[in-house]
Chains A and B, each alone.
Chain A
Amino acid sequence: MSDGARSLALHGALLALLLAGAFVLPAYHHGVLARVMVLSVYAAGYNIMFGYTGLLSLGHALFFAAGMYGMGLAVQHGGVTPALGLLAGLGCGLAVAFALGLLALRTAGVAFMIVTLMFAQAGYLTVLYFGPYTRGDEGFVLQGAQRVLFGFDLSDAGVRYIAALILFAAVLVGVLALVRSRFGRVLVAIRENEERARMLGYDTFAHKLGAVVISGGIAALAGAAYGLLFGYVGATFASVQYSIFPLLWVLLGGAGTVIGPFLGTLFMFYLIDLSSGYTSAYMLIAGVVLVALTLFAPQGLAGELRRRIWRGLP
Chain B
Amino acid sequence: MDFGPYLLLASLEGAVTAAVLALTAVGLSLVFGVMRVVNVAHGEFFMLGAVLAWWVAHLVGDAHPAVGFLLALVVAPLLVGGIAVLADVTVLKRVNYDPERTIVATIGILYILQQVTLMTYGPDARPVEPPFNTRLALPFVEWGENGLQLYWPWGLSTTSYKLAVIGAAVVVLLGVWGLMARTRIGLLMRATQLDRDMALAFGIPVERVYAMVFGIGAGLAALAAVLIVPIQQAHYLMGGDPLLLSFIVVIIGGLGSLPGTVLAAVLIGLSDGIISVFFSPTLAKILATLLVALVLVFRPQGLFGVRRA
Contacts and interface: CB of A to CB of B under 8 A. Distances in A.
B292 interface: yes
A102 B102 CA distance: 26
B16 interface: no
A305 interface: no
B105 A290 contact: yes
A289 interface: yes
B296 A115 contact: yes
Most B CB within 10 A of own CB, among A110, A118, A283: A118
B111 interface: yes
Contacts of B110: 287
Q: How large is the interface on B (under 10, 10 to 19, 20 to 34, 35 or more residues)?
A: 35 or more
A106 interface: yes
B118 A294 contact: no
A160 B206 CA distance: 56
A117 B293 CA distance: 9
A19 to B, nearest CB: 34
Given A106-B297, A280-B118, A294-B95, A129 B286 contact: yes
Interface string A254-291: 00000000000000000000000001111110111111
A58 B40 CA distance: 11
A9 B104 CA distance: 34
B244 interface: yes
B286 A118 contact: no
Given A110-B99, A121-B244, A287-B115, A115 B297 contact: yes
A247 B104 contact: yes
Interface string A104-126: 10110111011101110110011
B105 A125 contact: no
A176 B78 CA distance: 52
Contacts of B293: 103-104, 114-115, 118-119, 122
Contact of B247 (A114, A119, A284): A114
Contacts of A114: 38, 247, 251, 292-293, 296
B119 to A, nearest CB: 5
A111 B301 CA distance: 11
Interface string A46-84: 000000000010100000000000000000000000000
A128 interface: yes
A287 B108 contact: yes
B116 interface: yes
B285 interface: yes
Contact of A129 (B99, B244, B280): B280
Contacts, number: 114
B108 A107 contact: no
A141 interface: no
Contacts of B38: 110, 113-114
A111 B100 CA distance: 11
Interface string A276-314: 000111111011111111110010000000000000000
A110 B282 CA distance: 26
Nearest to A126: B286
A149 interface: no
A62 B95 CA distance: 29
Interface string B85-121: 0000001001100011101110111111011101100
B289 interface: yes
A251 interface: yes
B93 to A, nearest CB: 11
A172 to B, nearest CB: 25
A247 B293 CA distance: 21
Given A286-B111, A287-B108, A289-B108, A294 B101 contact: yes
B300 interface: yes
Contacts of A119: 289-290, 293
Given A110-B38, A122-B290, A291 B300 contact: no
Nearest to A117: B247
A188 B104 CA distance: 21
B107 A290 contact: yes
B96 to A, nearest CB: 11
B289 A284 contact: no
A281 B297 contact: no
Given A119-B290, A293-B104, 19 more contacts: A106-B297, A109-B100, A110-B38, A110-B103, A115-B297, A118-B292, A118-B296, A121-B244, A122-B289, A126-B286, A247-B104, A247-B107, A287-B108, A289-B108, A290-B105, A291-B91, A294-B91, A294-B95, A295-B105
* Closest A-B pairs by Cβ, 6 of them: A287-B111, A290-B108, A284-B115, A291-B108, A281-B115, A287-B112
Interface of B: 38, 91, 94-95, 99-101, 103-105, 107-112, 114-116, 118-119, 123, 244, 247, 251, 280, 282-283, 285-286, 289-290, 292-294, 296-298, 300
Interface of A: 56, 58, 103-104, 106-107, 109-111, 113-115, 117-119, 121-122, 125-126, 128-129, 244, 247, 251, 279-284, 286-295, 298
